[in-house]
Amino acid sequence: MKTLSAAIPMLFFFVQSIVLKAQSTDNQLVRLSETYELANIILALTEYGKTDPWEVEQHSDYYKEVRAYFAPFASHPLLVKANYSREKWDSYLSFRTDSYAFSLDKNNRLIRNVVFRTIEEHNAFEENKDLINDFVQVTNFREFYAKHLPYYQTLATTYLESQQYTQIFHFLEQEFGQEQNTAHYAIVMSPLVGRMNCHRVVNGVQTDFITLPAFILNGKSANNASKEDIATGIHMLFTELDHAFVNPVTYHHRQLLKENFNNAVWDAGSGYETDSLATFNEYMTWAVYDIYIRKFFPEVAKQVCTNWTLQNETRGFYASTLFTQELINLYEHRKSGQRIKDLYPALLKRLGKLQRTINKPLITYCNLDNQTISDTLVAYKIQFSESMQNLVSFDIIRVIEQDGKSRQQKFEITQQKNSLRWKAQNTELHFTLPLVKGYQNRLILNYAWKVRTPLKSRKGITLKPYTTIKTTVQ
């Protein structure tokens, strides 16, 4: 399973008022684009694309083939011009996604097919048109693309087989109704996209530019993938599609939301907080995903939902655990005939009460943080800013840097093995842990994608994912 970075928020874009009707045939849904693949290859070959661990999917055999084939052209000036950065994510996303509006003519030169820009004030792809044309010519890109076309087609087929597109639509229509219909919907993919899913309207077609689930890139078919793989993998498609159902209902209740949901309280810098409705919609779309997974993947729901909830908290939606649990509680106790859309008033009023008292739990003291010691079996004492849930066990990841590589080991902290104790009305945590001599030992709490039960406050707010304690053993 692909691990996602805490420091790197996944950015989701959506249209506020359209509900997508699943009327396209499977063969029409996924649209392979030669120029979109061209843009992703170019970005993968830049210094940023090669060194950032998340922007480009680097774990497939295909990625290795791309690097090997285009290695002789590493000095092409385009790779310097298109060498964006995390800070210039908007230029990166525009370069990548705007390419879909183009095609290559019989002379291997770019031509624009539709008027489309991912971000209106950016035009990164077209501004580099001459250099891109030259890159296509000197690298013989089109031969590379044609050779790999069967591979792209296989990815598209496997994606549709595994993502439960029709089932998701049926669930969303049941829970939200059919607010508005359109016959046009498309999915665009590249095996090189590592992050930043994007939803845009292209020439009147609702279009999702997606990341592929790891199990598909690893060559598994839908039949061979585990339930956890599939439940995890459909998250991207689900949380893009359900915006089209969630957002209109949110807009309908916008006055009640204004009275009960303050972005300044619920948003810790996601980038959505300037929109009066967007922060709530992000919380809601991910929470609805949890309900779907609990219904259709009950065997793996706890772990899969924990993974994605922690991931959402790294994006700035720090109270995702609490928000989702409130929606689930209402859903599980709903009256006969009630749907998710009917729960909005009760949910918003409940959130309005909660936001008066919620806080982000913090570590205020740790006896061994930033300390140098000589013992390898040590006793930790951690104090929190508020009362925490009295867990009988939780997971810690111990990390050391050895021979230039990060070595991780997971520990389940229990009363029997680690003398786990809660004190001072659960504001103080005690436990023992073996450390590695001769290294700085980093203990990571609430490590997304690796923990089963996160540490969280009694009020239901999770301790910030990837909270780290550093102890050096001489």
What CATH class does 363-473 carry?
Answer: mainly beta
- The closest of 123, 140, 169 to 19, measured between CA atoms, is 169
- The C-alpha atoms of residue 422 and residue 285 are separated, in whole angstroms, by 35
Q: What is the model's pLDDT at position 29?
A: 81
Residue 256: CB atoms within 10 A of its CB come to 16
pLDDT tops 80 at residue 181:
no
How confident is residue 179, by pLDDT bands cut at 50, 70 and 90? low
pLDDT tops 70 at residue 10:
no
How confident is residue 28, by pLDDT bands cut at 50, 70 and 90? low
How confident is residue 21, by pLDDT bands cut at 50, 70 and 90? very low
Is the CB of residue 358 less than 8 Å from the CB of residue 193? no
Domain chopping of the chain, boundaries = 31-163, 363-473
Q: What is the model's pLDDT at position 16?
A: 29
Is the CB of residue 261 less than 8 Å from the CB of residue 280? yes
Tell the burial category of 179 from Cβ atoms under 10 Å away from its Cβ (0-12, 13-18, 19+). Answer: middle
- The C-alpha atoms of residue 134 and residue 140 are separated, in whole angstroms, by 10
Stronger pLDDT, 158 or 199, i.e. the higher one: 158
Q: Give the pLDDT mean for 327-331.
A: 98
Q: Among 200-209, 431-440, 454-463, where is mean pLDDT lowest?
A: 200-209
Q: What is the model's pLDDT at position 65?
A: 97
Q: Give the pLDDT mean for 286-313.
A: 97
- The closest of 372, 359, 287 to 329, measured between CA atoms, is 287
Is the overall model pTM greater than 0.95, yes or no?
Answer: no
- The C-alpha atoms of residue 209 and residue 92 are separated, in whole angstroms, by 14
- The closest of 37, 29, 60 to 149, measured between CA atoms, is 37
How confident is residue 241, by pLDDT bands cut at 50, 70 and 90? confident
Edge-first strand order for the sheet with 198-202 is 185-188, 205-209, 198-202
Query: Which residue is associated with the tokens 């969630």?
Result: 246
